[in-house]
Amino acid sequence: MSISSSWFDRLTMTKAKYLMICKNISIIVAIARNFAIGKNNDLLFHLPNDLKRFKQITSGHTIIMGRNTLLSLPKWPLPNRRHIVITDDPEDNFPGCEIVFSIEEAILKVQNEKEAFIIGGGSIYRQFYPFAGKLYLTLVHKDFDADIFFPEIDYSGWEEISCEDFYDDKNDFDYSYLNLERK
Ligand SMILES: NC(=O)c1ccc[n+]([C@@H]2O[C@H](COP(=O)([O-])OP(=O)(O)OC[C@H]3O[C@@H](n4cnc5c(N)ncnc54)[C@H](OP(=O)(O)O)[C@@H]3O)[C@@H](O)[C@H]2O)c1
């Protein structure tokens, strides 16, 4: 088999896989009203209940993230989760994490899993958004100054599974947990 046809087969297979496996790829993200999600490689707010929810939803599953998001964590690996980190740098070596060099490679690594979670950041959310089957959103009803944003969500393409509203008195903002499934 020539190099080009092998490359073509791989590309075709990867595209077919997208269609088959998008249902098992979920995005989990906390988004401000202006779609802001991060600044200076950090989160925009500290919301302890949301961190608990993140732990509860992702524990026991694979989490997929970009290199910057891994480096933004206070420590890693997070307990009881398989970590897949997407990077361009072949020199990267993050103990406790599997390294991949493309979103296709990440998708193939979780193809047999019931549900795997995309946990950020901005560039990774943008690339996975078209393939994700579910969104676990924490929507903070306030604008934030930011340098990283989530892609704008077209809600007509998503079905609401659940929605809960809360108020955080320390932050003095309202927020909602909104779970959506692709129609
Ligand atoms: N609000 C939330 O829920 C939430 C969650 C997670 C993260 N965040 C925030 O998001 C920000 C980080 O986002 P970010 O966009 O800067 O970084 P990121 O998406 O975490 O990681 C970007 C890195 O991934 C690599 N990468 C991306 N796509 C790739 C591909 N297709 N193939 C190979 N490598 C690829 C990039 O390489 P190159 O750039 O070299 O191409 C870069 O090194 C931080 O502020 C963080 O706090 C927020």
Range of the domain at 101: 22-182
Q: How many domains, in total, are found in the chain?
A: 1
Which two structure tokens, joined as six digits, stand for 159? Answer: 């079905």
Which two structure tokens, joined as six digits, stand for 2? Answer: 């020539």
Residue 15 lies in a domain: no
CB atoms under 10 Å from CB of 173, counted, come to: 17
Average pLDDT, 10 consecutive residues per value, the chain (183 residues) = 50 54 88 98 97 98 98 96 97 96 93 96 95 96 98 95 98 98 93
Say if CB 77 and CB 61 are below 8 A apart. no
Q: What confidence score (pLDDT) does residue 131 get? A: 87
Q: What confidence score (pLDDT) does residue 22 get? A: 75
φ/ψ of 79, rounded to 5, equals -60, 145
| Beta carbon of 30 within 6 Å of any ligand 1 atom | yes
Residue 11 lies in a domain: no
CA 81–ligand 1 middle distance (angstroms): 19
Which two structure tokens, joined as six digits, stand for 14? Answer: 């990867």
The CATH number covering residue 121 comes to 3.40.430.10
Residue 4 lies in a domain: no
Q: What confidence score (pLDDT) does residue 12 get? A: 56
Which two structure tokens, joined as six digits, stand for 96? Answer: 């406790």
User: Model's pTM, two decimal places?
Assistant: 0.91
| Beta carbon of 177 within 6 Å of any ligand 1 atom | no
Residue 3 lies in a domain: no
| Beta carbon of 103 within 6 Å of any ligand 1 atom | yes
Residue 10 lies in a domain: no
Residue 2 lies in a domain: no
| Beta carbon of 88 within 6 Å of any ligand 1 atom | yes
- Whole-angstrom CA distances from 97 to 79, 81, 142 are 12, 10, 34
Residue 9 lies in a domain: no
